[in-house]
Chains A and B, each alone.
Chain A
């Protein structure tokens, strides 16, 4: 469902150009669980942001479900992010002063039609990630692992095609990380498409396929 071809990304800062991605080509099938690994600074986040339509490549082609993503305007891309992707970030990115339930509901605010049973759905997702007793808690009243589980519940509320997780366990201890990975494995069993970036070999081991980013290209 995801087809990426010859993607290049060049950052220019103070008129110094850095070519981070130099022709990345790969594709991901529906229901696949893919891990992307690579050294720090190798461009993993850059690639993930392009896949998640948070950023645009300098060059290359990107097809999502046969849609040429790079031709869409900003509104269409916003809608695409809303419907097709669920994001899980290393820094969780929850809204402060907002409880777990409202954080999970956030993506629904920006959908065309707000489902009537939104609150039940959100509660169910929170229960599924083991936070049934933390629904009314504010983000700052939750542990890192709990916050990341809220973020996962949030990424699922729109029933997305692809879950994009950039180092979801990077800020967590090994125990919390293991729980998070268990959730991802379960999501994989539910036939969701997952792309995960990690430094951790063990974490990557959960995936069906591991891609190695090196010198701006995919190896292996």
Chain B
């Protein structure tokens, strides 16, 4: 019996029993889709961490005013403190031996206006040090310098979202925009960075000199954050201690608890990794369960089919089918089911992980090898769960099979 005849026969049989076939295929589909989602999510998580490292800059320590915890990988301020000052940043830079540079920062959501266009965006007051420490590149125009910062000049560097939404894609350099109640001159455009791993659009942002932000817009004397670059990654721990001691002394804390939170890159990444690991684990177990369920589904159907089809097997044996022919037929059936299920599963998994990344903002990276893994897996499951019913069907004596009622 030729293999092509065998395949044709199996297809015919499968299409003759549409409900049964559909049930099998859908259980396989769900399993494979789950695997694809899992792999994509794993990839996405990896990418989120790499993104984060790149986005933060390397060898970074962040000092936050007040108490800060990590929520879903994002630093979130829990208590507000007014004790952190620009002078603290300067002191850290000049007094801590392992520190290369320090960039104080204050940010706030504010309204931007140009002509009749209006947008609420993230206004970040930064010092020129931020450009290097935080990997901010200028695509058009220029950065502002410390003279402009000290003078409290009203200059702004805008992100791509602002260019698109407010200026409709026009080059905005030289234009005057209104932020809060003041006019600012656009002096530069940031290179587009896209959405970050936490779903924040890094281009929906305007940078202005920190002093301008504090005095003109936010009217505060304190800052929220200092990004600090350390010379070497081995010095992260010692720098942290140094910074803590310095700040405690400067804030005259005595035996009071810290009024700031220090995070270094390593702890940030670890926190991110932990939170995503829990998610990955959850999805991995769901995926495993659905795969096993899919496999058992096939097994159950093939076994009942075997029982239901004893007469058919008996008849086939009576008219000359060898054991091998029966076995091949059953195996082919489960492989076809697994193949189709795998195909649909790849489709469903890819689609739903894509949707997940768009809607629920899960970090998802599509990859060919995930699809390959899904397909391979479905064939392996098809084989494993197909072999038992196949050999069971094949061992049946023709006369036993024919006699079953």
User: Which A residues form the contact surface with B (CB < 8 A)?
Assistant: 49, 52, 54-55, 74-75, 78-79, 81-83, 87, 89, 93, 95-98, 102, 106-107, 109-111, 114, 154, 158
CA distance A44 to B9 in the complex (A): 34
Q: Nearest Cβ distance between residue A3 and chain B, in whole angstroms?
A: 22
Q: In the complex the two chains form, what is the Cα distance from A213 to B58 in whole Å? A: 97
CB neighbours of A109 from chain B (8 A)? 1, 5, 9, 321
A107 and B399 within 8 A (CB): no
Question: In the bound complex, do residue B320 and residue A110 qualify as a contact, i.e. CB atoms below 8 Å apart?
Answer: yes
Asked if B323 is an interface residue, CB under 8 A from chain A, the answer is yes
CB distance from A166 to the nearest CB of B (A): 10
> Does B315 contact A93, Cβ atoms closer than 8 Å?
yes
- List chain A residues, Cβ under 8 A from B398: 54-55, 81
Q: Does B312 contact A (CB under 8 A)?
A: yes
Tell me, rounded to whole Å, the shortest Cβ–Cβ distance linking B322 to chain A: 4
Say which residue of A55, A95, A97, A102 sits within 8 Å of B315 (CB atoms): A95
Q: Return the CB mask of B1-18 against A: 1 if under 8 Å, else 0.
A: 110010001001000110
- B-chain residues with CB within 8 Å of residue A110 when the two chains form the complex: 1, 316, 319-322, 325
Residue among A54, A55, A74, A111 with most chain B CB within 10 A: A54
A154 to B317, CA, bound (A): 14
The 19 listed contacts between A and B (C-beta, < 8 Å) are A54-B317, A54-B399, A55-B398, A74-B322, A78-B320, A78-B322, A81-B318, A81-B398, A82-B319, A83-B320, A89-B402, A93-B315, A93-B402, A98-B16, A107-B319, A109-B321, A110-B321, A111-B320, A154-B319
Give B residues with C-beta under 8 Å from A: 1-2, 5, 9, 12, 16-17, 311-312, 314-325, 397-399, 402
- Among B311, B314, B320, point to the contact of A107 (Cβ < 8 A): B320
Bound together, the chains give a CA A52 to CA B314 distance in angstroms of 13
Q: A89-B402, A106-B319, A110-B319 known; 20 other A-B pairs, CB under 8 Å?
A: A49-B399, A54-B398, A54-B399, A55-B397, A55-B398, A75-B322, A81-B318, A81-B398, A82-B320, A87-B319, A93-B314, A98-B16, A106-B315, A106-B316, A107-B319, A107-B320, A110-B320, A110-B325, A154-B319, A158-B320
Question: How far is A55 from B317 in the complex, measured between Cα atoms in Å?
Answer: 12
For chain B, what secondary structure do more than half of its interface residues adopt (helix, strand, loop), or is it mixed? Answer: helix
In the complex, chain A residues whose CB is within 8 Å of the CB of B319: 81-82, 87, 106-107, 110, 154, 158
Question: Is there contact, CB below 8 Å, between B1 and A54?
Answer: no
A97-B17, A109-B1, A109-B5 known; A54+B325 contact, CB < 8 A: no
Kindly list chain B residues whose C-beta atoms are within 8 Å of the C-beta of A97.
Answer: 16-17
- Decide if A74 touches B16 in the complex (CB within 8 Å): no
CB neighbours (8 Å) of A82 from chain B are 319-320
Chain B minimum-CB-distance residue to A112: B1
User: In the complex, what's the smallest C-beta–C-beta distance from B64 to chain A, in angstroms?
Assistant: 70
Most central of A106, A154, A158 by chain B CB within 10 Å: A106
Q: Chain A's nearest CB lies how many Å from the CB of B310? A: 11
Task: Please measure, in the bound complex, the distance between the C-alpha atom of A111 and the C-alpha atom of B1, giving whole angstroms.
Answer: 7
Which residue of chain A lies nearest to B398 when distances are taken between CB atoms in the complex? A54
With A87-B318, A107-B319 as known contacts, state yes or no: A95 contacts B399, CB within 8 Å: no
Considering the complex, give the chain A residue whose CB is closest to the CB of B324: A75
A75 to B327, CA, bound (A): 13
Per the bound structure, the CA–CA distance linking A89 and B321 in Å amounts to 17
Q: Which residues of A contact B320 (CB under 8 A)?
A: 78-79, 81-83, 107, 110-111, 158
The smallest C-beta distance from A69 to any residue of chain B, in angstroms, reads 14
Measured between beta carbons, the chain B residues less than 8 angstroms from A102 are: 12
**Shortest distance between the CB of A146 and any CB in chain B (Å):** 18
Chain B, Cβ-Cβ closest to A93:
B315
CB distance from B54 to the nearest CB of A (A): 60
Closest chain-B Cβ to A23's Cβ sits at a distance in Å of 21
A102 to B316 CA separation, bound complex (whole angstroms)? 13
The complex places the Cα of A98 from the Cα of B13 at a distance, in Å, of 9
Task: Name which residue of chain A comes closest to B5, CB basis.
Answer: A109
Q: How far is the CA of A111 from the CA of B397 in the complex (A)?
A: 20
Quote the shortest CB–CB distance from A43 to chain B (angstroms): 14
Residue of A nearest to B317 (CB): A78
Query: A78 to B321, Cβ gap below 8 A?
Result: yes
In the complex, A89→B403 CA distance in Å?
11
Question: What is the CB-to-nearest-CB distance from B223 to chain A, in angstroms, rounded to a whole number?
Answer: 77
Contacts A54-B398, A54-B399, A54-B402 hold; do A114 and B5 have CB atoms under 8 A apart? Answer: yes
A206 to B277, CA, bound (A): 82
